[in-house]
Amino acid sequence: MDRKSKGHQKIEMIKMSNEINLQVTFSKRRAGLFKKASERSTLCGVDIAIIIFFPRKKDFSFGHPCVEKVIEDFICGNPPRDTSGAMTLIEVHRNSRIHELNMILTRVMNQLEIEKNRNAELKEIQKICESKCWWMGPKQEMRFSQLEHLKTSLEELKKKVTKEAEMIII
């Protein structure tokens, strides 16, 4: 069986020297490119614009819905219009995540409030203990007689601890 075509072969990418062949190839490639753009626009629901500048100061363009609209939206930063419902799905997911995070934040804030109340209660208990057990209070606020009494008590405690330690060692 003889092959009638050479099939897909690698060709060197250089500018064509024959102007007629160049024009024909350009026209075919341009038509194929515009056809693919139209298919993508229809199948994927996207806005698309293609502008081609030909060396002979000719320009060709394709756009869906139109080139000017797509370029204006691109320059102004306008989000694309939603034709597939994908943006709605994204927004629902985002709102769901925000709701979930708000619930977590509420739980954490409630826990923080509980801990603040507990801290206040512990401070009250500490104040009560300090008033009953004067030696637990800040030393800077003690009177001289209280400091002397504390010193004597600590010396006696030291003697007892030393005696007990010697008994354990022996």
Instruction: Give the tens place of pLDDT for each residue, 1-11.
Output: 566 777 788 88
What parts of the chain have a pLDDT lower than 70? 1-3, 79-87, 130-137
pTM for the structure as a whole? 0.41
Structure tokens at 77: 């930063």
Listed in sequence order, the residues at least 6 apart from 71 whose beta carbon sits closer than 8 Å to its beta carbon are: 49
Which amino acid type is present at position 98?
I
Q: For position 81, what pLDDT does the model report?
A: 58
Q: Quote the pLDDT of residue 149.
A: 83
Q: Which CATH architecture has domain 19-81?
A: 3-Layer(aba) Sandwich (3.40)
Mean pLDDT over each residue of the chain, to the nearest integer: 82
Cβ contact 26:54 at 8 Å: yes
List, as one string, the DSSP characters of the chain.
---SS--S--------S-HHHHHHHHHHHHHHHHHHHHHHHHHHT--EEEEEEETTTEEEEEEES-HHHHHHHHHHTPPPP-SSSHHHHHHHHHHHHHHHHHHHHHHHHHHHHHHHHHHHHHHHHHHHHHHHSGGGS-GGG--HHHHHHHHHHHHHHHHHHHHHHHHHH-
Residue 60 and residue 51 in contact, taking contact as beta carbons nearer than 8 Å:
yes
| Per-domain residue ranges of the chain | 19-81, 85-132, 137-170
